Amino acid sequence: MSKLFCTSVLLVSLAAACGGGGEKSSAGSSTAANPSNVPSGSTATAGSGTAAPITGKTWDVKMIGDASGYHFDPASLTIKPGDGVRWTVVSGPPHNVTFWPDSIPSGAQAQLGANMPQPTGLMTSPMLANIGATYTASFGNVPAGTYHYYCTPHLALGMKGTIVVQ
């Protein structure tokens, strides 16, 4: 194969891995498109639960990537059942939210997956490619416990977070 062809294939692959165009990655995840903060009825790839609405407070987490590093702010959050979490891209996109299936409470996977609108995989949010883009997930009907998550493109840079549902 020619070097030009291989380079073109690599660039297309990288663009796809980073979310490609910006419009699709935040569509339907903005609070403006979902003013009631209720996740849409879509279900996760392996989720079989029904989406539960946010019935409590919606907490804000910033997604940051800059000279100081890549991180969620706050990195750890304690919430109540029925609360929601809204992640907002502040800098360094693209970002997403992915929960580790083996690092969440037993029996939580189907419900959490159902509570995540427009998943791109098992308990994985869409890529948010634009500064100011948001993604909101409900923690309604999930078991109490600790939920570990990360940003897929920036996991190697330590972008991890924890949500404790009391």
Q: Does 12 score more than 60 pLDDT?
A: no
Q: Does 126 score more than 80 pLDDT?
A: yes
Integer Cα distance of 117 and 90 in angstroms: 21
Report which listed range, 12-21, 39-48, 104-113, is most confident. Answer: 104-113
Domain boundaries, the chain: 20-165
> What pLDDT sits at residue 119?
97
Q: Which of 136, 147, 124, 145 is nearest to 59 (CA)?
A: 136
Q: What is the CA radius of gyration of the chain?
A: 16
Can you tell me which residue has the tokens 């500064």?
131
Residue 140: CB partners within 8 Å, gap ≥ 6?
Answer: 52, 53, 54, 55, 81, 82, 84, 115
How confident is residue 49, by pLDDT bands cut at 50, 70 and 90?
A: confident
* CATH number, domain 20-165: 2.60.40.420
Residue pLDDT, tens place only, 69-125:
999 999 999 999 999 999 999 999 999 999 999 999 999 999 999 999 999 999 999
The percentage of residues in the chain with a pLDDT greater than 90, rounded to a whole number, is 70
Q: How much is the pTM? A: 0.73
> What pLDDT sits at residue 166?
97
